Chain A
Amino acid sequence: NAGVTQTPKFQVLKTGQSMTLQCAQDMNHEYMSWYRQDPGMGLRLIHYSVGAGITDQGEVPNGYNVSRSTTEDFPLRLLSAAPSQTSVYFCASSFPGRGRIGELFFGEGSRLTVL
C-alpha cells in the first residue's frame, strides 16, 4: 500500500522562485493537510481540506496556496519562495467523518531549501 506519497523528497530553490509540492493518497481519505516542521517548533499547520473543492487556512498559511480538485491529490504551491520557507514539509490525511480528525497518516516529507 502506498499510503501518502509526497514528491519531491528534496528541493533547492532560489529566492523568488515558485514551485509545487505534490501530495497523493490512495486511502480515499476525505481530510488532507500540510504541515511544516522546523527545529524546536514542532509541526505547524499550513492549510487543510475536509474534502474535494474545500480548503481552509491553518496556523501559518502566508506564502502558500492549495487546491483540492480530487479526493486523492492536495498540492501545496509556494508562490515566491523565501529563505524563511526553508523547512521540511509533511502532507497528512485522515477520515474526519468518523470523528478521528487527529488520526493522521503522514507522508515521508519534502525537504525544501531556499537560498
Chain B
Amino acid sequence: GQQLNQSPQSMFIQEGEDVSMNCTSSSIFNTWLWYKQDPGEGPVLLIALYKAGELTSNGRLTAQFGITRKDSFLNISASIPSDVGIYFCAGRPTGTASKLTFGTGTRLQVTL
C-alpha cells in the first residue's frame, strides 16, 4: 500500500521553541492534511491543504503543500504544554477518490 514517511518520529522541545515536522510520499497526492491526537482520544483535524504550494495557518500552526505534491510540512511556533500529542500527516493519492493514507506520526513532548 501507499507509504507516507513522517519525520521526526518523536521530539522533545523546550516551551517557547518552534517545531517543524514533515511528511513525504513516493507518489503524487491531491490533498494533504494534518491531524493531532491527544492521549485516549481520536485525531482532530488541524489543517487541510488542497493545492500545490498552498500555505495555510491555524493560529500558531502553519502547514504547506509541497510544490512537487509529494511532501508537506507543519510548523508550530512558540510551543506550549498543550501542544503535547501525536501529529499525523495524511494524504489522498491521485486516483483514489475515497481513500486517505496516514503517516506514522510525530510524538511531541514539551518540557517546561
Interface residues of A, Cβ cutoff 8 Å to B: 4, 31, 33, 35, 40-45, 48, 50, 56, 58-59, 90, 92, 96, 99-109
Interface 9-residue window, one of B14-22, B38-46, B56-64, B74-82: B38-46
Residue from the list B40, B98, B103, B104 in contact with A56, Cβ < 8 A: B98
Q: List 9 A-B contacts (CB under 8 A).
A: A42-B6, A42-B104, A45-B100, A59-B1, A59-B2, A92-B42, A102-B100, A104-B35, A108-B40
- Whose C-beta in chain B lies nearest to the C-beta of A58? B99
Cα A98 to Cα B99 with chains together (Å): 15
Cα A45 to Cα B102 with chains together (Å): 9
- Whose C-beta in chain A lies nearest to the C-beta of B32? A102
Interface digits, B68-112 against A, CB 8 Å rule (1 contact, 0 not)?
A: 000000000000000000001011100001111111110000000
Q: Contact check, B42 vs A103: say whether CB atoms are below 8 A apart.
A: no
Q: How many residues of B contact A (CB 8 A)?
A: 28
Chain B's nearest CB lies how many Å from the CB of A89? 10
Residues in B whose Cβ lies below 8 Å from that of A59:
1-2, 99, 101
Q: Contact check, B100 vs A101: say whether CB atoms are below 8 A apart.
A: yes
- Whose C-beta in chain B lies nearest to the C-beta of A49? B98
Cα A54 to Cα B88 with chains together (Å): 28
Q: Which 3 A-B pairs have the closest CB atoms?
A: A106-B42, A43-B102, A42-B104
Chain A's nearest CB lies how many Å from the CB of B27? 15
Residues in A whose Cβ lies below 8 Å from that of B103:
42
Q: Contact check, B45 vs A104: say whether CB atoms are below 8 A apart.
A: yes
Cα A56 to Cα B99 with chains together (Å): 10
- Whose C-beta in chain A lies nearest to the C-beta of B100? A102
Chain B's nearest CB lies how many Å from the CB of A87? 14
Q: Contact check, A106 vs B99: say whether CB atoms are below 8 A apart.
A: no
Q: Contact check, B88 vs A43: say whether CB atoms are below 8 A apart.
A: yes
A106-B102 contact given A42-B88, A59-B1, CB 8 Å threshold: no
